[in-house]
Amino acid sequence: MPHVVILYTGNLEPHVDMGSLCRKLADTMLARAMLAAANVDKPEGRIVLAGKDIAGLIGDFRYFAMIGIGMAPHPTYAPSIPFIMVFAYQMMFAIITPALITGAFAGRFRFSSYLWFIALWTLVVYIPVAHWIWGGGFLGKLGVIDFAGGIVVHTTAGFAALATAIFLGRRTLSPNDPPRPANIPLVAVGTGLLWFGWFGFNAGGAYAANQLAAYAFVNTAIAGGIAMVVWLFWSAIFEDKPSFSGVMVGGVAGLATITPTAGYIEPWAAIIVGALGATICYFAKGIQEKFKYDDALEVFRAHGIGGITGSLLVEVIFSLDGLGLMSFEAAINRDYPVVFGTLFIFTLLGLVVKLIGDLTYTFVDPRIDFESREH
């Protein structure tokens, strides 16, 4: 997909309205038939920590305690809506991400321990990663694209769920009582509510009722529906009896996969994204079978693998810059600093998650027997 990327230094922001500049450039290219109208209306950006940052890793405290966040639009990040509305929208992401992680270990934490875990994880993992991509951090400057949270929300939640499930160990269950949903109707209701909210997550990323929002809304519905059908197809082949709860997981996998690219592709491409996302997430069950971790709601399988898959698809298949393409090209071109830098960042994330687990070790529910758990 042809696209235009404008790189500029942060010291230009006080002097140049980059949002207006981009719109004028788009109008000129449209007038000269250099771009199609459907491909122009792209979001100006998102913001979590949008002040000046420190080495591209974390933002400063310019907007601490919501100072400077009011009804006036921000010329770069939200030129068409109140700046405080962007804050509220981003808070939604910050709230839903820990809730996704919780599905992997619900009922296996003491509530006080859970509060400590969520607070530390949000501060140490979520906020920095959100800044790296949406707040002008180093990944955003390298061209990483994430429309509505494929990396920031779903990938981080998936891997955090995986680390937590491994740390807590498996539940003690009878051999004749394998893990399964306790209430199928509630599974259906929960999936429906999540799907309904997903339209707000993805279409809301346009910050306006425009073409971009329309594409994101329609693509979200298509990818989720196609993923359910494809998941049902694979389960009918490889399982004795397809399960209703499994099909629900398939729908969520499709929604997570479309999230990074929801507003950037045509509806026909959403069919491909949904089908590939469901297929890859379905066969990711081999990871769970091999390592035998107990992820109650398959958060890593649906959100972690789905988020990664969508991020790679938006880069490789649809020719947009991003993390996977950057790493791949760095390896091909033997750009070892970028390769080792990427490995270092994700290794550091893993160590941080492990550190959080160690810090909360003494607060974990004492009913868990760590010495006798399976390894």
pLDDT for position 217: 93
- DSSP per-residue letters across 82-147: -HHHHHHHHHHHHHHHHHHHHTTTTTSS-HHHHHHHHHHHIIIIIHHHHHHHHSS-HHHHTT---S
What are the residue ranges spanned by the domains of the chain?
87-363
Close Cβ partners of 57 (under 8 Å, ≥ 6 residues apart): 128, 131, 132, 137, 138
pLDDT in tens, 110-159: 888 889 989 999 999 999 898 888 877 888 777 788 888 888 999 999 99
pLDDT band at 219 (very low <50, low <70, confident <90, very high): very high
CB 144 within 8 A of CB 130: no
Could you tell me the pTM of the whole model? Answer: 0.71
How many beta carbons lie within 10 A of that of residue 349, not counting itself? Answer: 18
**What pLDDT sits at residue 121?**
92
| 3-class state of residue 54 by DSSP | strand
Q: Which amino acid is at 339?
A: V
List, for residues 288-340, the tens digit of each pLDDT value.
777 788 787 888 888 989 988 888 777 665 555 555 556 656 666 777 777 77
* Domain 87-363 = CATH 1.10.3430.10: yes
Give 29's strand partners. none
Give the pLDDT of residue 230: 92
Angle between helices 305-316 and 244-258 (to 10 degrees): 40
Distance CA 152, CA 172 (A): 33
What does the alpha-carbon distance between residue 177 and residue 225 come to, in Å, rounded to a whole number?
31
